[in-house]
Copies of this chain bind each other. A is one copy, B any other.
Amino acid sequence: MDAKTLCLGSLMVGDATGYEIRKMFEDGAFSCFHQIGYGSIYPALSRLQADGLATVTEHDQDGRPGKKVYAITEAGRRAFAEALQGPPGADSFRSDTLFILAFGDLLPLERRSALLDAYSAIHATLLRELEEEPIDEEQCTPGHLFVRNYGLTIYKAIVKYIADNRHLLEQPSQATDDQASTPTPRTHAKGR
């Protein structure tokens, strides 16, 4: 899903500046399933405007760079509806933390604990932010509700999983507890 469509989606919810759009993907409603930075947003908004899919209103503010509030046009709504038509691309999930944790036995115990703490904390924060985010009765569609609750549910499941299973990784047993620079070589399984 390209940045243009993502921005159109934001504008479907309401008029916004580039700055506000990024916030929607950082904190807001969309944060759990897509993220984009300024580097994608501003060029996308320019193209949207050039293509007649959005309009701009400049609100000059003393000092600060003039706020550019974008609004979706009728053509923009059509283009968005059309973009929603095609078969969706596959989900993609990447987690360095989980990858590192998979090799936890190469790490000292404190580091394992620190990683687990941080990973739990970040999801607890995300959960809290989603919970606290006000739901605008007026324009909260069933779809928005569905994905919001989805986020809540998954974040909760993650926090719970870590609490319930961190003991698996926090047994001091493992190979080396000191940060040995020579990790114990294990015998490999024969190539299939």
Contacts and interface: CB of A to CB of B under 8 A. Distances in A.
Interface of A: 1, 6, 9, 12-17, 20, 29-30, 32-35, 69, 71, 74, 77-78, 80-81, 84, 88-107, 115, 122, 136, 138-139, 141-147, 149-150, 153-154, 157-158, 161, 165, 168-169, 171, 174, 181-183, 185-186, 188-192
A96 B189 contact: no
Copies of this chain present:
2
Q: Which 5 pairs, one residue from A and one from B, show the smallest C-beta to C-beta distance? A: A104-B143, A88-B96, A157-B157, A33-B98, A33-B95
A100 B12 CA distance: 12
B142 A105 contact: yes
A77 B183 contact: yes
